[in-house]
Structure 1
Amino acid sequence: MMKVRKPTAEKRILFLTCGLLWLMVGIYLMALAWYWFRRFGYSAPALLAMVGLLLAYYLGFVRIARKNIGRLRAKPQRICFFAFQSWKSYLIVAIMIALGATLRHSSIPKIWLAPLYMGIGGALSLASLCYFRQIL
């Protein structure tokens, strides 16, 4: 029987991968929200978005990042590259992508979605710092 080889990486590479992934997705979501804000000529909702950002940040993304960091720290120094997320997290990411695409293409006014996207994007970007701290 042939042994299947898994791509492996050091934990610091996995922390970097997580941090970059969360940061890039966060920037993408904030850019979409900013475009929607600007398109409608609104600047006041930016304040609401900042409140949403902080709320989302404290309610979840840092907790998720810390849980992932703890899980990775408990693993050996070299592990499968795809272990930077738990299998459950891959499912959650797929659901979030599908939900985001559905919302983006729905009839819901973009100006209503912009604070949500700004909050989630900002929370992901800020939570990415938890991963970057692990490699410093």
Structure 2
Amino acid sequence: MSWLFRLKPGASIRTNLLVAALMWSFIGLYLIVRGYLLHVLLPGIFWALALGLGTLKARFVIERAARKNITRIVARPDGMCLGGVYSWGMWGMVVCMMLAGRLLRNSAVPSLVVSVIYVAVGWALLLSSRLIWQEWNARRTLR
């Protein structure tokens, strides 16, 4: 078992926070761009709706998950596996969200609606990632 332990991609708490922040940010940006590309001529009212819904989702749902994730990462000792940056439940949620996005994209739902949903969810992730970035930055000054 010790050889397996040596192969584990262990990292510091700060690196785990960086990976989590990058993932939330990049996935958020990806969804915003994907939503834009689904309906390039997205009218301003729909952008406002998507950003408003995304802000509400961030405030009441995603930020709670981000704080829980930060607490989990910080509670773990240095050198823990990068794959453990999220709990098994969170990884399961990631897979479910990917499947839901794929089903939505391939459904009969109009592209304008899918576009608004993608932009809203992407904005919620991007907005909430700031909490992880703040913790990552705070850890820089703790050294």
Matched, 1:23 2:25: yes
Secondary structure of 1:135's counterpart equals helix
Q: CA deviation at 1:38?
A: 2.3
How far off is 1:23 after superposition?
0.6
Unaligned runs of 5+ in 2: 138-143
Q: Which AA in structure 2 matches 1:126?
A: L
Conserved? CA contact 1:37–1:45, under 8 Å: no
Instruction: Please say which of residues 107-116 and 30-39 is displaced more in the overlay.
Output: 30-39
Q: Are 1:72 and 2:73 an aligned pair?
A: yes
- Runs of 4+ residues deviating >6 angstroms: none
Number of equivalences: 135
Using a 3 Å threshold, how does the CA distance of structure 1 residues 135 and 38 change in structure 2: closer, same or farther?
same
Q: TM-score scaled to structure 2, two decimals?
A: 0.87
In structure 1, the partner of 2:111 is 110
Q: Give 3-state SS (helix, strand or coil) of 2:44's partner.
A: coil
For 1:130, the equivalent position in structure 2 comes to: 131
Query: Do the aligned residues in 2 keep the contact of 1:37 with 1:43 (CA within 8 Å)?
Result: no
- Cα distance per residue 1:12-53 (max 9 Å; x no partner): 1110001111111100111122223424x5232111112111
For structure 1, list consecutive stretches of 5 or more residues without a partner in the other structure: none
Report the Cα offset of residue 83 of structure 1: 1.1
| Counterparts of 1:131 and 1:4, CA distance in 2 | 30
Which structure: greater helix fraction?
A: 2
TM-score by length of 1: 0.91
